[in-house]
């Protein structure tokens, strides 16, 4: 659900977007909670807290690489690739559930 907040501000599922590009002022991993729930009615955080925590860790490492020049260890890379695969599988289930109705 999209709510008009005022001016050039809108909120999607309680997450506020601002400006012309509607940039969301929320951590990327958190979109797997309120953001996706606003669209699908389901939340990764509510359905699989451990996977949600791993997604948070994945984005933390990603930000360290992209913005801090940090380099991950291979065991971290394997773990985060597995996390991404699990999240894609969860998203596939959302898509399948949507086509079933």
Spatial separation of the C-alpha atoms in residues 36 and 85, rounded to whole Å = 17
pLDDT by residue, tens only, the chain of 101 residues: 444 445 555 455 555 555 555 444 467 888 899 889 988 999 999 999 999 999 999 988 888 888 888 887 888 899 999 999 999 999 999 987 766 65
pTM of the model: 0.69
Q: What single string gives the DSSP state of each residue in 22-44?
A: TEE-S-GGGGGTHHHHHHHS--H
């Amino acid at each position: 659900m999209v709510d008009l907040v005022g001016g050039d501000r809108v909120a999607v599922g309680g997450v506020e977007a601002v400006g012309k590009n509607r940039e969301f002022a929320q951590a990327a991993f958190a979109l797997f909670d309120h953001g996706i729930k606003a669209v699908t009615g389901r939340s990764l955080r509510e359905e699989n807290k451990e996977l949600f925590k791993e997604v948070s860790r994945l984005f933390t490492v990603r930000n360290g690489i992209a913005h801090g020049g940090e380099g991950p260890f291979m065991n971290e890379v394997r773990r985060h690739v597995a996390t991404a695969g699990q999240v894609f599988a969860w998203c596939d289930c959302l898509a399948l559930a949507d086509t079933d109705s």
